[in-house]
Every structure is written in structure tokens, then in C-alpha cells.
Structure 1
Amino acid sequence: MADRYILRVTAGPGYDEKDHVLVPVNETEPVKIASPLATIDLSVRVRDYNGLPRGSPSSSKYFETEPHAYNQDQYSICFSFTPHAPKGVQSGEQKDGIKGTDLQFGNDFDRPIRDKLPPGFSTAMNIVKWWIDPGLDGDAYADRPHLYGPALSSLNALHVGAPEIAEDKGGIFVEEGGGEDVRAELGMPVDGKGRMKWGLNDANKESWLWKYGETYGMDFYNPYIDFSTFSLRLPGFHLPILKYWDGQGLRYVLRNRLTGEVYLAVCFTIHLKEDVDEEGNIKEKAKEQGRKDDESRQKEAAALSSQAKNTAEDDLD
């Protein structure tokens, strides 16, 4: 079944896909994502990649480096992040940067997925929160499902300062480090796992500031999503994604919890191969059908939400 589909990765400074660019997966040259809020250089790597753009490298030297070779990591979202001070900052707001409590990284969706969640989803989420990211929080059953964690504890590697760009490591390469003085002052561990655990503490998050104008290297990676077979593999849990897919992409966002502003959105979307032309563009007919399907799903979701609200009100009566 998976061989009927092809993967496409796009990225932009927000949710509007009109502002997104096609990401050259596994290439060493990063993609620049610029907005008034931030400047970002982005590299996306996917093991055993056979997606768009056509002719993309099937892998990256990144996966031959450690710890990724040992972990058998399947993909990476790696980037440099330089936040900019917003215009018109009012008194009492953050003037020097984004607090550690407010910069979030995670997934969200435009419409409900509750009717598509597989049996055992709660078990899978418990595995993720216990084994992978205890800082994750959100609501997968909401009208706009979301699961976010503090970037301070969710990102696998953090480098204070501009990250290394090395062709023999696949392009942008982030290793834990940098900012030794501020790390020592705040008691932040020098290793990635230690820093992620440190970042779960509320007081530690309050003490950290993502400073405007300063560059940070960030890398998010794991061995749990296999994009070559479109499957999720957690310890003791396996899920064929296509069986429960509703047409939405898997979207990763870097956002501000306080303001709701988005700095980066990276979308992994699946398309039928027959809907993609020779140049790798989505055929207009498929786009139009997708828009109709989206409208239909949104109306259905709104109707279900209204029905649930009326039922709840009747129960109160």
C-alpha cells in the first residue's frame, strides 16, 4: 500500500502553505526561512528517502554520524534559529527575548483527528510521555489537535551560537554545547539528555531566555517514524500510519506559547503518486479535490462539535 504514495516536505514561517517552500531533503545546502519574527536555516533529513523533489538523495551522511548511527534515527529537523524583537513591544512584555516557558516545539493539526485515532492511542501517548518526551502537553481530541513541549526539553540537541555546517556531516550539524558561561550560571547540564531533563523544571524554564538577535542551533530527531513504510514504531507499539490517515500532513511547529506566533512550520505530507506530475508538482486537479475534501471535513467537524455541545447542554438541563 505504501508504494502508492510519495512524501513531500515543505516549510515556511507560518501555517499558510502559500508561503512554504519545497524542502530539498537530504541535501547539504539548508533552506532559509525568513520572517519579521525570526531567521531560520533549515535542513531536513530522512533515511531511505524516496520522495519529492524527484532525484533527492536517498540518505544523508548525517545518519552515519553519532549518535544517529547508533540510534538508527529515521529523520531529523535541524535548524539555526535567530529570533527578532517584535515591533511595538508593550510595557511588561518580554523585551530581551522569549522565556524558556514560552518557546514551544511540537505538532498541531488544522482539523479534528479524534475519529481517526487508532485503538491503543492512549497507550502510545503514555509511552511517548514516559519514554521520549515527558514535557509534551496538549489535546489530541480537540477541534484543533495539538501536542507541544517546551523547546528547552523537547529538542534533542541545542547549541548556543551558530551551528556547524559540514558537508561530511550532511550540512547543518548541531551538537550540544555553546554558551558555557550561561549554562554554568544557570546550572544547565552540558549534555543533551541532562539539559532536556533540566528543561522540564518550571524554575529552570523561567530562568532561561532565548535572546533576540542571538543564534541557536537546534536538532530534533528520533528512530520512531519510518517514512519509507509510513509507520510509527514505539517500544512495544507499532502503527501503520496510512490505515488511519485522514489526508492531513504531519506538521511540526516552533511557536510562542504566550502570543501564538509561529516561527517555523515543517510539513510532511503524503500524496498519491498519480497526483504528482513529472516535475514533482501536485496536479491542479488533485489540489482542487483536496480543497473540496478539506471543506467537507471541516463542515463535518463543525457539525459534530455543535452536536456534542448541544448534547452537553441537554445533559446539564
Structure 2
Amino acid sequence: MAEKYIIRVTAGPDYDMDCQQEVPVNSPRPLKFSTDLMDIELNVRVQHYRGLPRNSPSTSPYFDREPHKYNNDQYSISLKFTPKKPQEDMTTLTEGGERVDDEGEEVPDDVATRGISGNDLQFGNDFDHPIRDRLPPGFGTAMNIVKWWIDPGLEGDAYADKPYLYGAALSSFNAVHVGPPKEEEEKKDGEEGGEVGIWVEEGGDQAGLEWRSELGVPEDAKRRMKWALDKANKEKWVWEYGRTYGADFYNPYIDFKDYALRLPGFNLPIMKYWDGQGLRNHPKHSHQLRYVLRNRSTGHVYLVVLFTLHLAEDINEDGSLKPAAIEALRTSSGAEGEKGEPLADPKPKDNGGFDEDKALEEAKKKLEGVSLDEKPDGGNDDVD
């Protein structure tokens, strides 16, 4: 079934498809763009990649390096970014002289002028349409495992009209570097060097390490992620305007070769449910995975990365999209069917007798006694 589709990865500083650029997946050459809010360089790597552009490398030396080889990581979104001070102040002064964000939470004056609060910079997934009628049996179990085992800081609602799942960037990114990360360009003939592009290691340059130490930020990545689950700690951290950072998000849980979600003790064959919805009938709905870097308080969007599945027949030989596919991607948000008629109000699917409590209990048993620093046993229990 998977061979019927071709994956394409694009990225840009906005949801608008006209702002999206095709990402050279597994290439060491970063994609770069700049806005009034942030300068960003981006590398995307996918293990066993067989998508666009045509003749893209199927892998990257990145996956042969530690910790990614040991983790069996399947994909990575690596960033080098520099926040910029907005031209307009998005905070408000109350009658009492307090500065608050649009949610009414107090923002210290020094944070408002220095950068983005660690409590505000978010990274995660969202959709501009309901997906509750397309969630497969076992989805609730999968989300419980993700929040329990992978990122306890995630918050969201998959059943909302505009579903989302965001976590604080400070606790969601696997590696955070305060200061410019390494940039290992593709080596030329006769020269030594890396071939991975942006390479992010936990820590920072000399000034960044001193800054982290002053805040009491743990040196170890996993401990930093745990430290950042505390709201008070997140508020200490400010992503400063004008300072460059490195960040890397990676994991072994999404298999883009077979389009499956593989969690500890629990596997979910995504393609089975994607195919059943009909990509051609609802091209805006069930064929995209969207990662977003955003500001919780102001609503500013800094980065949108799209993993899009296209029917193979909608791709030209040179790898360009056929007109129908382009039009589908550019269609304004809003749930419409093939002929433009509104879709019926989505309702949750029947779970087909799937026992989510039992499945979650089985996953917990597989992980009992396993340290977060250890690699858990991979489960083979597919959800049908």
C-alpha cells in the first residue's frame, strides 16, 4: 500500500503553502529563510527515505552517529535559529502597571524586552480541521504512552475542531545548544569533514554554557528536559533576541518507510487509516503531518514543517507536482469535500472492540523498570 504514495517535505515561516519550500531531505545543505521574527536554518533527515526531490539520499551519516545509531532514530528536524525582537510589543500594560500577555499572564519587563519566555516558545503538531473521525482505534493509548514515556510536557486536544499537540520547546527538543551549533558541510574530494549539515549537541558555546550554569540548567539533555517541565524553570529561561541557538528534535517512533507509529510496546499502522480516507477525495485533510514552532502568548508562527503524502500518480516524472495536487495544497483551510460540499460534522470512530486500557497496561508492563536512559524493548503488537 505504501508504494502508492510519495512523501514530500516542505518548510517555511508560515502555514501559507506559497511560503513553503521543498526541503532537500538528507542533504547536508540547510534550508534557510529569514523573517522579521526569526532567522532559521533547517535540516531534515529521514531514515529509509524514498520521497521527493527525486534521487534524494535514502539516509544520512547522521543516523550512524551516536546517540542516533543506538536510539535507532528514524527522523530528525535540526534547527539553527536567531529570534528577533518584534516591531510591535504584543504585551499590554494594565492599570496597575503590570505587563501581561494576551492570556492575561504577567510578563516581567526584562523578559518582554530580552526575548521569548521559555514558557512561551512551543514546538508540536497542529491541524486546521477536525481529525476526530479519522483517529484509529488505539489512538488514545498511543497518546497516553507519548505523554507518559516520551514527553510529559505535551498538552493538546486531538478531538478539537482545530486539533493541536504542543510542548514547550525547552522540554520537547532532544538537544538544545545555546550559541551557534556546528555546521558540518558536505566534504569535497580530498578533504575531510562531515556530511550531516547542522549538528546540535546539548550545551553551548562558552558564553552559552556560563549562561546555562547561572540558571541552574542541567548539563545533560534528559535532565534539562525534565528540569523544563517545571513552569518556574521555564520562566527563568529566555530565548534572547539576537542570540543564536541550535535545537534538534528526533526519535525512533515514526517509521516513514512503512508509515507506522512504533511506540514502546505498541505499534500503529498509520497507512491503513490514511488510505481508507481517500487522499484524492479529501486532499487537505488526512495526508499531512505538520510540525510548528510558535509563540504561545503572541500567536506568532516561526516555522512550519510539512510531511505530505501524495498519490504517486499526482507527481510528474521530474518530481514536480501536477496542477491538481498544487491546487489542493493551496486551497484555503476549511473542511470541504471533493465537489466543495461541506463535510458532515466528524464524530469519533467506533473502536472496533479495541481495549485501550488493556493495551496501555501491556505497554506499561514492557517498560516497567526501564530507565529513561535505556533503550526499551520494541513491541510487536500492531493495532489492527
TM-score (norm 1): 0.92
d(CA) in 2 for partners of 1:117, 1:26: 30
Counterpart in the other structure of 2:239: 210
d(CA) in 2 for partners of 1:270, 1:201: 37
Aligned residue runs from structure 1 range 7-156, under 5 A? 7-89=7-89, 92=99, 94-156=112-174
Which blocks of at least 5 consecutive residues in structure 2 are unaligned?
94-98, 100-106, 186-193, 275-284, 349-384
Counterpart in the other structure of 1:172: 198
What amino acid sits opposite 1:25 in the alignment? V
What amino acid sits opposite 1:108 in the alignment? D
Instruction: Give 3-state SS (helix, strand or coil) of 1:205's partner.
Output: helix
d(CA) in 2 for partners of 1:209, 1:28: 29
Instruction: Give 3-state SS (helix, strand or coil) of 1:130's partner.
Output: helix
d(CA) in 1 for partners of 2:322, 2:23: 18
Counterpart in the other structure of 1:283: 322
Match of 1:272 among 308, 311, 314: 311
RMSD: 2.0
Counterpart in the other structure of 1:4: 4
How far the C-alpha of 1:21 sits from its partner, in A, is: 0.3
d(CA) in 1 for partners of 2:246, 2:169: 12
Counterpart in the other structure of 1:229: 258
How far the C-alpha of 1:249 sits from its partner, in A, is: 0.5
Instruction: Give 3-state SS (helix, strand or coil) of 1:115's partner.
Output: coil
User: Percent identity over the alignment?
Assistant: 60
Q: Assess if the C-alpha contact under 8 Å between 2:47 and 2:63 holds in 1.
A: yes
How far the C-alpha of 1:244 sits from its partner, in A, is: 2.0
How far the C-alpha of 1:288 sits from its partner, in A, is: 4.0
What amino acid sits opposite 1:146 in the alignment? Y
d(CA) in 2 for partners of 1:28, 1:69: 18
Q: Does 1:192 align with 2:221?
A: yes
Aligned residue runs from structure 1 range 234-253, under 5 A? 234-245=263-274, 246-253=285-292
How far the C-alpha of 1:284 sits from its partner, in A, is: 0.5
d(CA) in 2 for partners of 1:300, 1:130: 37
What amino acid sits opposite 2:236 in the alignment? S
Counterpart in the other structure of 1:254: 293
d(CA) in 1 for partners of 2:123, 2:287: 19
Q: Assess if the C-alpha contact under 8 Å between 1:109 and 1:248 holds in 2.
A: no
d(CA) in 1 for partners of 2:129, 2:250: 25
d(CA) in 1 for partners of 2:328, 2:219: 50
d(CA) in 2 for partners of 1:114, 1:285: 26
Counterpart in the other structure of 2:379: none
Q: Assess if the C-alpha contact under 8 Å between 2:32 and 2:42 holds in 1.
A: yes
What amino acid sits opposite 2:239 in the alignment? W
More helix, by proportion: 1
d(CA) in 1 for partners of 2:239, 2:156: 23
Instruction: Give 3-state SS (helix, strand or coil) of 1:193's partner.
Output: helix
How far the C-alpha of 1:180 sits from its partner, in A, is: 1.5
The number of equivalent residue pairs is: 306
The change in CA–CA distance for 1:95 and 1:289 in structure 2 (over 3 A counts) is: closer
Q: Assess if the C-alpha contact under 8 Å between 1:65 and 1:169 holds in 2.
A: no
Q: Assess if the C-alpha contact under 8 Å between 2:335 and 2:342 holds in 1.
A: no
The change in CA–CA distance for 1:193 and 1:206 in structure 2 (over 3 A counts) is: same
d(CA) in 1 for partners of 2:195, 2:203: 17
Q: Assess if the C-alpha contact under 8 Å between 1:113 and 1:140 holds in 2.
A: yes
